[in-house]
Amino acid sequence: MQEFDPMNRGFASYRSPRTIALVGKYHSLEIAESLRRLAEYLYERGVSVFIERETAEHIGKKVDLSRWVTCGFNDIGAHADLAIVLGGDGTMLNAARRLARYCVPLVGVNQGRLGFMTDIARNDMLTCMDDLLDGRFSPENRMLLAAEVTRDGKEVASNMALNDVVVDKGAIGRMIEFELFIDGEFIYNLRSDGLIVSTPTGSTAYSMSAGGPILNPTLTGIALVPLCPHALSNRPIIVNDSTDIELRIVNADDPRVHFDGQVTLDLERGDCVRLRRSEHTICFLHPPGYSYFAMLRQKLQWSERPKGP
């Protein structure tokens, strides 16, 4: 298992980053000015700034980014000490899948709505940069799922997911039926709208909306959450992160598998979706004072502690 080791390039360099990549929400011109201001601030602090290529192609139409290097995720992975992601959780998910294999830590600036993975508010962006450049952010590892789809015994697709992998019935209203196996043991035959296989990071996303448990991201379990099961006894369960999970499509009209809700693949009857913990992890860098439970209280609007003695 490839962990975020204090001796590797990513950990050592994040405390004194000399090269920082900026990744923005591709189709949002609203972040253009924020990204330009951040790039200029980092440049004035002596940091080499990379702008992710697709980000530059979209928001470069609104602001001038020509003074900074533009490159793809492979070059960011090879040369950047860390990446700052401006956008919402969707932008962070895409960047995480693209950069996980390179051990590049990620910092999130929230330009979206909820932002469970983007800690820094847009208005606090520049004031937090001093803490980042001076090494006062704290690292936290997050596990990913590795998935492969096999058809007639041959692999037809593979991908990673930071939040979840979802197998569902597709656009047609009829339920999907599949068999669930864990470490080769038959668990149950499920007729439902689908199944969410979620990491702890993804437990506050689709899984939570479907009635699944919230898992602290320091845990290493995997949540299996049925979507509208025909049998009400099919409840969410949590399995160890070392297990191998297999879904075999038994009957469906338009089955599909989704990776983080961003990449979709059409399935066929008889296909198998195999899931396990990825050998890669992603590292989030949190600003001083970050608290996971404080974030939940704010984002989920949990009640505040009663005032008074």
Tens of pLDDT along 249-269? 999 999 999 999 999 999 999
Nearest Cα residue to 86 out of 123, 44, 48: 123
Q: Cβ neighbours of residue 62 under 8 Å, at least 6 residues apart?
A: 29, 32, 33
110, 269 contact by CB (below 8 A): no
pLDDT at 230: 92
Q: What is the model's pLDDT at position 12?
A: 53
Model pLDDT, residue 172: 80
**Do residues 100 and 88 make contact, with C-beta atoms less than 8 angstroms apart?**
no
What local confidence, expressed as pLDDT, does residue 307 receive?
67
Could you give the CA distance from residue 163 to residue 160 in angstroms, rounded to a whole number? 9
Give 215's DSSP letter. -
Alpha-carbon gap, residue 83 to 185, rounded angstroms: 41
Residues 165-178 pLDDT 10s: 999 998 887 899 99
* Amino acid (1-letter code) at residue 74: N
What angle is formed at CA 121 by the lines to CA 286 and CA 79, rounded to 5 degrees?
50
Residue 174's pLDDT is: 87
Cβ pair 169, 251 in contact under 8 A: no
Buried/exposed code over 275-288 (b: 16+ C-beta within 10 A; e: otherwise): bbbbebbbbbbbbe
Active site residue 164: no
- Provide the pLDDT for residue 198: 98
Q: What is the pLDDT of residue 308?
A: 62
Give the residue among 25, 162, 160, 21 at the shortest CA–CA distance from 91. Answer: 25
Catalytic residue among 5, 75, 81, 89: 89
Which residue numbers in the chain have pLDDT < 50?
1-11
